């Protein structure tokens, strides 16, 4: 059976790609953000995952407002980055893990999650940046399964539903007949609002409580409705749903326990409170 190693959560912001491209990582504005990553890379170098199952949200690139699945799972041999173009001019496609994609899709449908299956799928900064941050040298040593959660067009899935989805994805991975090592990734958040009267809204108290809850009380955020989460984290802060799915996926198996490998929190990058967290499953 496949081995679940742990989970990673990181914010995604197109400007990060621009900073990587310009080599600006050590500039005062960027340094507190990029300095979070070396311990994560060291851990990844030790545990060496083969596959990353990536919980993320599309931003109107592969799914636009005319067709917006609540949950979609990639089942493609590769995922081409077609981002809006602020960032890194050329990025290698992410390599898919077809067998695991279908394992996850079949299990989710069996568990009554009516997901959209995507045998072709473009990805944006939400998928491409985490890999670039974890493996800056390129030539990613992992394949991926993208699991897209709608956080952009109402109605959004409830936090409790996202938690249940994450758990079901974890079950599917735990039951995968493979000797490969799998890590879960959450891409998004933490608090931010890009437009409207509250543009620039950030809630450090809530963010830190949320990050802590993933260690001590993983279901904590499911007490909130989507409107409450928008109120507390901003219209784009609801991207933190991906973190909830990642943590839920780690609850399967003999033990639901995790140990914190490393975390970082820095405000702001662009309009966003950036969070970073690595959890090792034991």
Asked if residue 266 binds ligand DHB (CB under 6 A), the reply is: no
Position among 101, 236, 263, 264 found at the interface with ligand DHB (CB under 6 A): 236
Q: Between residues 59 and 167, which has the closer beta carbon with respect to ligand DHB?
A: 59
> Residue for token digits 């955020």?
221
The C-alpha atoms of residue 79 and residue 54 are separated, in whole angstroms, by 12
Order across the sheet with 122-123: list the strands. 94-95, 78-81, 122-123
Among 271, 273, 275, 277, binds ligand DHB (CB under 6 A): 271
> Catalytic residue at 227?
no
If DSSP codes are grouped into helix, strand and coil, which group holds residue 79?
A: strand
Assess 267 for contact with ligand DHB (CB under 6 A). no
Interface with ligand DHB includes 161 (CB under 6 A)? no
**In the window 93-122, what residues touch ligand DHB (CB under 6 A)?**
none
Binder to ligand DHB among 13, 246, 261, 278 (CB under 6 A)?
13
Q: Which stretch binds ligand DHB (CB under 6 A): 11-19, 161-169, 216-224, 250-258?
A: 11-19
Smallest gap from Cβ 256 to ligand DHB, in A, equals: 29
Burial of 67 (0-12, 13-18, 19+ CB in 10 A): exposed
Residues 6 or more apart from 123 whose CB is under 8 A from it?
58, 61, 62, 79, 80, 81, 82, 83, 94, 146
For 1, the 3-state DSSP assignment is coil
Residues found near ligand DHB in the complex (CB under 6 A)? 12-15, 59, 192, 194, 236, 239, 270-272
Q: Which residue numbers are catalytic?
A: 125, 192
């Amino acid at each position: 059976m496949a081995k679940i190693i742990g989970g990673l959560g990181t914010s995604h912001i197109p400007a990060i790609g621009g900073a990587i491209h310009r080599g600006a990582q050590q500039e005062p504005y960027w340094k507190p953000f990029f300095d979070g990553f070396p311990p994560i890379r060291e851990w990844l170098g030790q545990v060496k995952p083969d596959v990353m199952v990536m919980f993320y949200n599309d931003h109107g690139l592969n799914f636009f407002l005319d067709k917006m699945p609540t949950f979609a799972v990639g089942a493609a041999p590769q995922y081409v980055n077609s981002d809006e173009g602020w960032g890194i001019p050329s990025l290698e496609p992410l390599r898919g893990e077809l067998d695991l994609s279908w394992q996850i899709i079949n299990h989710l449908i069996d568990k009554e999650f009516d997901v959209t299956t995507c045998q072709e799928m473009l990805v944006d900064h939400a998928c491409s940046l985490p890999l670039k941050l974890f493996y800056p040298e390129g030539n990613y040593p992992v394949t991926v399964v993208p699991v897209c959660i709608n956080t952009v067009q109402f109605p959004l899935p409830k936090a409790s539903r996202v938690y249940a989805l994450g758990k079901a994805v974890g079950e599917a991975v735990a039951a995968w007949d493979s000797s490969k090592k799998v890590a879960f990734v959450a891409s998004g958040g933490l608090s931010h609002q890009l437009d409207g009267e509250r543009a620039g809204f950030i809630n450090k108290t809530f963010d830190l409580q949320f990050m802590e809850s993933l260690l001590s009380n993983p279901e904590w955020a499911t007490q909130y409705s989507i409107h409450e989460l928008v109120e507390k984290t901003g219209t784009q802060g609801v991207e933190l749903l991906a973190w909830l799915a990642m943590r839920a996926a780690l609850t399967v198996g003999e033990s639901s326990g995790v140990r914190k490998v490393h975390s970082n929190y820095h405000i702001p990058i662009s309009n966003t409170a950036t969070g970073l967290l690595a959890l090792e499953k034991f």
